[in-house]
Amino acid sequence: MDATRLDELQRAEALAGLPGWAPVPGRDAIGKVFRFADFNAAFGWMSRVALMAERLDHHPEWRNVYNRVEVVLTTHDAGGVTGRDIVLARFMDAAAG
């Protein structure tokens, strides 16, 4: 997937198809808070995402507290949101069920 930084319109269009995702204030990044039934469910999801992140060679910035996972996606190499972030966001949503 292309690692070219999305412009404002492209990012807004991509976000329209990503429920719960939003721009991160002050950063060229997108974020979402995932909530699960319990810690096991959260960590199991993180494990599945981690394996896909390795396959994609594209990794999230995330923070887990019990059943919550706060996620920020941006492409460090491009200095902003790219299609790689959109692909990973879509996978995260699908994996969360």
List of residues contacting ligand HBI (CB under 6 A): 57-59, 75-77
Crossing angle for the helix pair 83-96 and 39-56, nearest 10 degrees?
Answer: 150
Name which of 41 and 72 has its Cβ closer to ligand HBI.
72
Q: Which helix (H) or strand (E) holds 25?
A: none
Nearest distance in Å: CB 40, ligand HBI: 26
Q: Within 10 Å of residue 64's Cβ, how many Cβ atoms?
A: 16
Name which of 3 and 66 has its Cβ closer to ligand HBI.
3
Nearest distance in Å: CB 81, ligand HBI: 10
Nearest distance in Å: CB 13, ligand HBI: 20
Name which of 42 and 85 has its Cβ closer to ligand HBI.
85
Q: Which helix (H) or strand (E) holds 8?
A: helix 8-16
Nearest distance in Å: CB 88, ligand HBI: 8
Strand bridging mode 22-23 / 61-65: unpaired
Q: Which helix (H) or strand (E) holds 44?
A: helix 39-56
Name which of 35 and 59 has its Cβ closer to ligand HBI.
59
